[in-house]
Structure 1
C-alpha cells in the first residue's frame, strides 16, 4: 500500500533553522524546466504536480520546484511517456530505497527536504484526516530527487527537463499507526541537516531511516472536498472534527464507513 500522496505547503517558504547551515534560502531558477513547474499549488498537492523542495548546494540551502513523483535520470522515452510511466513513484520505502533502480542512485547523493504544513491520510475512503504539527510549525519530510532530460526535440517547447522527487516512508510511530501502516520520514534538527549532506555513506544514511518521533503531531478529520485533486483551497485542511488524542494505541475507526480503503502514502 502507498501512503504520502497529498502534500500541503505554505504560500511563502517558511523560515528554516538547520544546525550548521546558512539560513538564507535562495530560490533557484532553472533553464528548460518543464513549464508545469510554474503552476504553483500550495494545498492538496497531488502526485505529478510540483512542490517546493529544499536542497543543499555549496553549503547553502536552495529552494527548487520539483515534480512530486521521481523520474530517474536513466528513464527512456518522450516526456509524455515517462510522465505516465512514473506516476506512482511519489513514495520511496526505506526498506527498498537502496535496491530499486529508480532510487538507489539518488538516496546516496541527492537527498532533499520537503517543507510542509501537513499531509492527508484516509483510514477509510470517506474519512480524510489532516496530519500536522500541533503548534502549526513546518514539518520537514525526507526526500530524494533526480533530474531527467528528454532526448526528443519536440519536448523543448514545453520544457525538456523534469526535476522530480519522492518522499521517503517508514513504518509508523505509535500515533501515526492509528491512521496507516506507513509514515513519511519527518526529520528535525541535526538529523534534518545531516540528511542534506552529500558526503554521508550508506551506513550513515541508513541510520537516519527510522520511524519518526510523532509526539508533536496532531490529526483531525477534514471535509471530503480534499478527495477532489482540483480543490486547492484551504478547505482541504480545515477541521470538521476534534483532534485525535495522542493517548492510546487503537487505530481510528470510522462508524458507518464500510467502503474500500483509499491509501495515499
Structure 2
C-alpha cells in the first residue's frame, strides 16, 4: 500500500513539469514531508469541456483531500479507508469504477515511505519496523496514478462554495522485485508519454490498463530514514535524509 509520502514542490514547478494549463490552487500548500491520509494534496486533473463544446479537456492543478469519498456515499468519513485502490479490482469495485472510467488524476510526490520489519524486537516484543523512502533516481517527481471524486455535501446550501468535496486515492500494484523485499505493494506510476491519455476522460476504458505499468527496474531507489516519520506530527526535510543500515538489516535485504 501507499500510506505516507512526501510532496515538497511548489505549484509553479508542478505547472511546468506536468504541462498544466490552469492552476486552481488559491493558497499554495506548505512543503509536506509526511503526507498522511485526510491531508490536502496536489493533484493534476483534466476537466472535460461543457457539453457539446468543441474545446479540449483542460489540464488543471488542484488541491484535493487524500481519501476518496464516492459520489454516492452518505458519510464522508468513508474516505478515511479509501486511500488506496488496487489495480486488480479498481475497474469493478463500486467505490472506484465510476472514477476509473472518467475521473483519473496524477498525484505528484517526491517519493513515498514503506516500513520493513526487521529481526530486532521492540520493548513490546514485536518486530521493529524500519521506514524506507522510495524515490526516482533521476530526481523527477513521482507521478502516482490516482482517481478523484466530487462529493456533494447534502447539509450545505446550493450557493455554499464548499458544498463540493474533492477527494482522491492512489492506485497500487504488486511491487517490483527490487522493492518487493521492503513491501509487497507500491503505487503505480504514469510515464510522461502516457499521461495525456491517462488524464483524458474520453480515453476508452479498454485502453486504460495498458497505460499503467510498474516503475522500470532500477528507476527507483530506496534507503532507510528516521523512524520519526511514523508520527504524522513530525515534518521537515530531515525525514527524507538517508540513514545507514545496521549490518543485520543490510544483510536481510540482499
Fold shared, TM-score > 0.5 on shorter chain: yes
Bigger helix fraction:
2
Q: What is the alpha-carbon distance in structure 2 between the residues aligned to residue 235 and residue 157 of structure 1?
A: 40
Equivalent residue, structure 2, for 1:63: 61
Q: Is the 8 A contact 1:40 1:50 kept in 2?
A: no
Paired with 2:179 and 2:36, the residues of 1 have a C-alpha distance of 21
Per-residue CA deviation, residues 205-234 of structure 1 (Å, 9 max, x unaligned), is 122233331421111100011000111211
Q: Give 1:102's aligned residue.
A: 95
Aligned to 1:8: 6
Whether 1:240 and 2:243 are equivalent positions in the alignment is yes
Match of 1:93 in 2: 86
- Residues 139 and 153 (structure 1), Cα distance of their counterparts in 2 relative to 1, 3 Å cut: closer
Partners of 1:240 and 1:223 in 2: how far apart?
7
Deviations 1:149-193 (A, max 9, x none): 211149x98943210100010111122212111110011122222
CA 1:38/1:48 → structure 2, altered by over 3 Å: closer, same or farther? Answer: farther
Moved beyond 4 Å, runs of 4+: 15-18, 37-41
Q: 2:114 — aligned with what?
A: 121
Cα RMSD between the aligned structures?
A: 2.6
| Equivalent position of 1:181 in the other structure | 184
For these two proteins, the number of residue pairs brought into alignment is: 229
8 A Cα contact 1:222 1:239, kept in partner = yes
Contact 2:91 2:97 in 1 (8 A): yes
Larger Rg, first or second structure (1 or 2): 2
Unaligned runs of 5+ in 1: 31-36, 243-249, 254-265
Q: Find the residue that maps to 1:105 and give its secondary structure.
A: helix
Question: Which digits, 9 at most, give the CA deviation of each residue in 1:235-262, with x for residues without a partner?
Answer: 22111126xxxxxxx9738xxxxxxxxx
Counterparts of 1:32-47 in structure 2, within 5 Å, are: 40=30, 42-47=32-37
**Secondary structure in 2 aligned to 1:165?**
strand
CA contact (8 A) 2:20 2:44 kept: no
| TM, length-normalised to structure 1 | 0.78
1:38 offset after TM fit, Å? 7.6
Sort the Cα spacing of 1:39 and 1:139 in 2 relative to 1 into closer, same or farther, 3 A. Answer: closer
The change in CA–CA distance for 1:25 and 1:6 in structure 2 (over 3 A counts) is farther
1: CA distance, partners of 2:79 / 2:187 = 19
Counterparts of 1:218 and 1:251, CA distance in 2: 17
